[in-house]
């Protein structure tokens, strides 16, 4: 199927919240990892989200170019073409973009979508995250409202963050004193201000102790009940229509019961990066260790072209990542939920 259009994406999100499941939103940095996600979703008969981070975009543009928007565009263009071959819907999203990176990452991508729409073409991306969690909440929301107004004109969905996801991602590290738990008061303010942009759609990454990266069991104390408190508060104040569409960041290594509880409280998108990164590399490491005398020229030998051809181990990495994507669909209860009618 082609990449989901706005109407389909909205329907996906509505269905997930109503049906108590969530979409895996998987970070990709190459054609190979994007293909792995498409296959994993298709095998699971699940729609899903492919996302690119600032660092992923820079990487994809080439080590000497390092243009985060350029790399993100290349990946998105590939997905637009390749997604046609898979019987599910996929939405394209960009991950964390801090305020100081908006002009280098999100805005050029929004401009590209605006240019495409003017030419009668589909949007490049479906949604973008603005991560204003490092600036005061008022500034975060002021900027978010401005972005949402512009996004809405081009049928783009905005993801914002209130509270701070701990740990480190893409070299951006959360302060040790960071506010790891969003409060209902914060989210009421988000709803109060963002709902003034009539008809616009946004996703909210509310934090409940989440940490980027993966840790040994017991290290991270998740409190999904915080999400329920936020939803209860917003419904009490504004009514059922104001319920949030929530995003779960930093979920790698989380216990299934916490994931399911978060989904019950309105999480419709769970970001997955660390777990799929590991799955990708695990297969390559296995290949290298098993065939070290083929991938290397040992003791004057010539190695084995078949084993050091990058396609050999990249295909193994792709297959291994596909399996991890399938597990994510199963964990998030999205298996068999595709909107695509084949
Ligand atoms: Zn995140």
pLDDT digits (tens, 9 = 90+) for 135-147: 999 999 999 999 9
CB 121 within 8 Å of CB 39: no
Q: How far is the CA of 115 from the centre of ligand 1 (A)?
A: 28
SS3 content of the chain, % helix, strand, coil (to 5): 50, 15, 35
Least confident of 9-13, 112-116, 177-181, 310-314: 177-181
pLDDT band at residue 216 using 50, 70 and 90 as cut-offs: confident
Which segments of 163-262 are extended strands (E)? 168-169, 172-173, 202-206, 246-248
**Stretch 196-221: mean pLDDT:** 86
DSSP structure string for 56-125: HHHHHT-TTT--HHHHHHHHHHHHHHHGGGSSS-EEEEE---BGGGTTTTHHHHHHHHHHHHHTTPPPS-
The pLDDT score that the predictor gives to residue 185 is 94
Least confident of 94-98, 217-221, 243-247, 250-254: 217-221
Q: How far is the CA of 27 from the centre of ligand 1 (A)?
A: 10
**Stretch 63-76: mean pLDDT:** 98
Three-state DSSP class for residue 289:
helix
Q: How far is the CA of 120 from the centre of ligand 1 (A)?
A: 33
Closest by Cα among 276, 277, 252 to 326:
276
Q: How many angstroms separate the CA atoms of 130 and 94, rounded?
A: 9
Statement: residue 47 has pLDDT above 70: yes
Answer yes or no: 95 catalytic: yes
| Residue list, CB under 5 A from ion ligand 1 | 249
Q: How far is the CA of 249 from the centre of ligand 1 (A)?
A: 4
The pLDDT score that the predictor gives to residue 178 is 61
**Of 14, 43, 95, 299, which one is the catalytic site residue?**
95
Statement: residue 118 has pLDDT above 80: yes
């Amino acid at each position: 199927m082609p990449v989901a259009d706005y109407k389909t994406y909205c329907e996906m999100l509505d269905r997930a919240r109503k049906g108590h499941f969530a979409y895996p939103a998987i970070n990709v940095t190459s054609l190979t990892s994007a293909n792995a996600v498409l296959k994993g979703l298709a095998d699971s008969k699940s729609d899903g989200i492919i996302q690119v981070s600032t660092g992923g975009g820079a990487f994809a543009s080439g080590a000497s170019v390092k243009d985060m928007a350029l790399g993100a565009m290349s990946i998105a263009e590939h997905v637009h073409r390749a997604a046609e071959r898979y019987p599910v819907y996929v939405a394209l999203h960009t991950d964390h973009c801090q305020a100081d990176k908006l002009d280098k990452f999100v805005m050029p991508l929004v401009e590209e979508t605006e240019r495409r729409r003017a030419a009668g073409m589909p949007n490049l991306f479906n949604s973008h995250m603005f991560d204003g969690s490092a600036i005061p909440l008022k500034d975060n929301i002021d900027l978010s409202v401005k972005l949402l107004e512009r996004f809405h004109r081009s049928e783009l969905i905005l993801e914002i963050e209130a509270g701070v996801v701990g740990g480190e991602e893409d070299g951006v590290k959360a302060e040790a004193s960071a506010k790891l738990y969003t409060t209902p008061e914060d989210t009421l303010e988000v709803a109060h201000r963002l709902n003034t942009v009539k008809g616009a759609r946004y996703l909210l990454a509310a934090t409940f102790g989440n940490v980027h990266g993966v840790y040994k069991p017991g290290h991270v104390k998740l409190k999904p009940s915080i999400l329920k408190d936020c939803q209860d508060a917003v419904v009490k104040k504004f009514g059922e229509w104001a319920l949030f569409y929530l995003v779960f960041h930093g979920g790698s290594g989380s216990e299934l019961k916490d994931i399911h509880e978060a989904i019950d409280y309105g999480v419709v998108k769970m970001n997955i990066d660390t777990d799929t990164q590991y799955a990708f590399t695990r297969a390559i490491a296995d290949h290298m260790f098993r065939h070290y005398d083929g991938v290397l020229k040992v003791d004057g030998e010539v190695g084995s072209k078949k084993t050091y051809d990058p396609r050999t181990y990249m295909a193994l990495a792709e297959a291994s990542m596909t399996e991890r994507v399938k597990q994510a669909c199963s964990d998030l209860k999205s298996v068999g939920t595709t909107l695509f009618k084949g």
